[in-house]
């Protein structure tokens, strides 16, 4: 298992549990965990579980939580330049996201959320 998310050719390594640089919650800085993004938007506003839930627009019922309200799993593409469409993610990428913990392993500096 690699200790980097991207290999030497710049391709995502979905067999790891590492996350790409910048893969952190824009509200609290949570990193190393599952993140969600708004559905059907170009705005990259990644948020962690507690930040998605606190908005009150979400109910939690699915143990995997691929979608919460109008937020969907933020799964980076192979090149890492954007995120897979909700129903377009390859299975190995979904499996990578499923292996991530629900809560942060560490915190990075808080970024400004893009609306």
Assess whether pLDDT exceeds 80 at residue 14: yes
The predicted structure's pLDDT at residue 79: 83
The predicted structure's pLDDT at residue 101: 92
Which of these, 102, 92, 106, lies nearest to 16 by C-alpha position?
Answer: 92
Estimate to the nearest angstrom the gap between the alpha carbon of 104 and the chain centroid.
11
* 97 backbone dihedrals φ, ψ, rounded to 5°: -65, -40
Quote the pTM value: 0.82
Contact 34/100 with Cβ under 8 angstroms?
A: yes
The predicted structure's pLDDT at residue 1: 37
Q: Band of the pLDDT at 2, cuts 50, 70, 90?
A: very low
Contact 94/85 with Cβ under 8 angstroms?
A: no
- Tell me the sheet residues that pair with 72: 37, 67
- Tokens representing 27 are 């509200």
- 50-84, pLDDT tens digit by residue? 998 887 655 555 546 888 888 899 999 888 888 98
Which of these, 16, 15, 37, lies nearest to 25 by C-alpha position?
Answer: 37
Contact 80/9 with Cβ under 8 angstroms?
A: no
The predicted structure's pLDDT at residue 66: 87
Length of the chain: 115
Which of these, 37, 27, 31, lies nearest to 17 by C-alpha position?
Answer: 31
Contact 48/30 with Cβ under 8 angstroms?
A: yes
The predicted structure's pLDDT at residue 95: 95
- 91-105, pLDDT tens digit by residue? 999 999 999 998 888
Average pLDDT, the chain: 82
């Amino acid at each position: 298992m690699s200790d980097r998310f991207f290999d030497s050719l710049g391709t995502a390594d979905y067999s790891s549990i590492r996350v790409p640089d910048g893969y952190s919650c824009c509200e609290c800085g949570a990193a190393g965990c599952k993140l969600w993004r708004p559905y059907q938007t170009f705005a990259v506003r990644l948020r962690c579980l507690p930040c998605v839930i606190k908005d009150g627009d979400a109910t939690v019922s699915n143990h995997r939580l691929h979608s919460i309200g109008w937020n969907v799993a933020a799964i980076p593409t192979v090149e890492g330049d954007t995120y897979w469409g909700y129903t377009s993610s390859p299975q190995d990428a979904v499996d990578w996201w499923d292996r991530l913990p629900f809560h942060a392993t560490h915190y990075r500096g808080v970024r400004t959320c893009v609306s």
